[in-house]
Every structure is written in C-alpha cells, then in structure tokens.
C-alpha cells in the first residue's frame, strides 16, 4: 500500500516522516527547508500523496525568517527552488486535480510577507514558463486566478495574471479541442476534427525550430510511436502556424511521410488565439472525439503515455 508513495517521493527526492518533529530551542536566522510530515493515521497511499501536496508549504511560512538576496523565508534560495521542483513533480506526476494543492500554496505564501513575491515568481517559472519540463497550465490556472484577484498584487500584474488564467482556460484536458482549418502538404484543405484516429498527436511546430528538430529526433528514437501509428491507433499532425508559408513549404518534406503536415492558412491559431501557443513545439494529445488528453505537454510526458498505451 505504501509502495506508490515511496516511489513517488523517492523520484521527487522528498523525505516524509510519520513521527513528530523535534522542537528547536530557538529559531535560527537561517534554516533547512522544513519537510512535510504526513500523520501516521493517513494510511491510504493516494491520501498520503494528496496530504503531502496540500501541506507541503505549511511549516515553510511559519516563523519570522528573513527574505533577502540569498534566502527566502530563511531558507537558501537554491534549496527553495529545489523544493519547488519536488512540489511541481508531485503535482504534475501524481495528482489528478491540483486545485486544492495550488489553493493551499497560495494561502500559505499570502501570509509569508516578503516571501510572497519571490515564491510567486518561482511558481511561475516552474508551472508556466514554456521552457519548464514541469510546466502545467492545469496547475497554473488556479494560482493565476487567485493572483489576479489578490490585493497583494499590483494592478498591472493582476491584469497580466487574469490574461494568463484566460489563456490557460483554453482547450483544457477533458474538453473538446478547438477545431481549425489547415492546408496539407498536397494543397488539400482540411479540418483538424476530420482526422480520424483513436489518438491524434497535434504538434504546432516549425521546420527551422531547433527544439522542433530535437523533438523529431526524440520521437524517432521511440518505437512506441511507430508501433501505434502502424496499428492505426495514432496519427501525428504537425501544423505550421506562422506567416512564412513559402519557407515552410520549402522544408516541410523533411517531416516523416506518415505524418499529416500542414499550415494554418487562416492564421487563426496565432491571431485569434484559439490555442495558447507560447513556444514551439507545442504538443497536444487528443482522443478519438478530439477531447484533450494532454495539453502543451513536454515530450517526455507524451512518450510516457504512449508506453502505457502499449502495455
């Protein structure tokens, strides 16, 4: 019963204890990050993971510790950042609905004085930065929504967070992805929803993009994708969403022949913002009804899902 939690926390480099913490005679000016303590009475493995996520920052905000150029709430900045990575790993890998954990995080940092701003920035870097391997708009949405309404945030920043929350609300997992028209490499006009497949891997990319080339190399190295394509369970559609269509046509043939390659001839994805494409490549995994399974997912997350589908 405890094995799943042990594996989860080992992967995240996190240590849990069921016993009481020892009290210190006095609070030092600097301290180690206070690890979350899961009560012994919480025995179910899923409940323990959820408890750890919800109470991860409880002890961190207690006490009067300095926030300065080297510390956040008395803990060295690099250690706080490492713990944010642990927290993000737990939420993105093991928590199905992160709303409660992110709500608790907001409540904790809202009472953390000078630590509020650096903790907000750190969370943004892990959960919303398009280059973060742990990015998750499902995690960032509840936090951005709260920040957009918080008196602790200035008016300009509240407007920015409100916009981010609106963008995160597009094409959420479980909803039907917005349809759009595109022109494929043969010049035929199609719609995304007309592509028939048990699963559709939708990629917004660019043949000149270095990260897109790396994505292609990574995908070519995994036989799971080729096997799913060969079985007819998966189709891959790579859609160019910028205006340099002639440049795309000159290089589009570099993509695999079994992919559906096309471009957004109406420029609706970029200009009408029907998708929140903040960086390319951006990957969406859809089911047969075009409901979103994974949204703007790191390729490693997509590949993990593909491996599970092969079992």
pLDDT at 244 over 50: yes
Domain ranges for the chain, please list them: 3-168, 181-310
pLDDT band at 220 (very low <50, low <70, confident <90, very high): confident
pLDDT-wise least confident of 25-34, 39-48, 260-269 = 25-34
pLDDT 10s digits, 167-198: 999 999 999 999 999 999 999 999 999 999 99
Residue 218 Rama label (left phi>0; alpha psi -120 to 50; beta): alpha
Share of the chain above pLDDT 90, in %: 75
With beta carbons less than 8 A apart as the criterion, state whether 223 and 201 touch: no
> Residue 93 half-sphere exposure, CB side, CA atoms within 13 Å?
19
pLDDT 10s digits, 54-103: 999 999 998 889 999 999 999 999 999 999 999 999 999 999 899 999 99
How far lies 155's CA from each of 143, 148, 152, in Å? Answer: 16, 9, 10
Given 3.40.30.10, 3.30.1340.30, 3.40.50.10540, 3.40.50.2300, which CATH number is that of 181-310?
3.40.30.10
DSSP string, 234-272: EEEEEEE-SS-HHHHHHHGGGS-TTSEEEE-TT-HHHHS
Cut 0.95: pTM above it: no
Q: How far apart are CA 236 and CA 259, in angstroms?
A: 5
Helix (H, G, I), strand (E, B) or coil at 118: helix
Provide the pairing of β-strand 260-263 with 181-184: antiparallel
pLDDT band at 30 (very low <50, low <70, confident <90, very high): confident
pLDDT at 201 over 50: yes
């Amino acid at each position: 019963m405890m094995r799943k939690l042990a594996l989860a926390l080992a992967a995240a480099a996190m240590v849990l204890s069921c016993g009481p913490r020892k009290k210190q005679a006095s609070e030092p000016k600097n301290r180690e990050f206070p690890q979350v303590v899961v009560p012994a009475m919480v025995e179910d493995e899923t409940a323990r993971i959820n408890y750890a996520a919800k109470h991860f920052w409880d002890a961190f905000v207690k006490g009067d510790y300095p926030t300065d150029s080297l510390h956040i709430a008395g803990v060295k900045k690099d250690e706080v950042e490492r713990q944010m990575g642990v927290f993000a790993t737990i939420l993105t890998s093991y928590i199905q609905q992160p709303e409660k954990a992110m709500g608790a995080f907001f409540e904790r940092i809202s009472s953390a004085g000078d630590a509020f701003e650096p903790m907000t920035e750190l969370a943004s870097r892990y959960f919303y930065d398009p280059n973060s391997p742990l990015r998750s708009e499902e995690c960032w949405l509840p936090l951005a929504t709260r920040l957009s309404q918080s008196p602790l945030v200035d008016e300009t920043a509240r407007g920015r967070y409100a916009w981010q929350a609106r963008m995160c609300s597009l094409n959420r997992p479980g909803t039907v992805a917005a349809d759009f028209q595109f022109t494929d490499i043969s010049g035929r006009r199609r719609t995304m929803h007309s592509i028939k497949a048990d699963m559709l891997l939708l990629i917004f990319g660019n043949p000149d993009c270095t990260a897109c080339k790396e994505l292609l190399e990574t995908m070519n190295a995994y036989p799971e994708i080729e096997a799913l394509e060969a079985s007819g369970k998966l189709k891959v559609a790579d859609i160019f969403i910028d205006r340099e269509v002639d440049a795309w046509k000159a290089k589009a043939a570099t993509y695999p022949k079994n992919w559906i390659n096309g471009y957004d001839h109406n420029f609706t994805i970029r200009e009408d913002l029907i998708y929140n494409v903040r960086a390319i490549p951006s990957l969406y995994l859809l089911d047969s009804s075009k409901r979103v399974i994974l949204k703007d997912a790191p390729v490693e997350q997509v590949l993990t899902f593909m491996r599970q589908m092969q079992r």
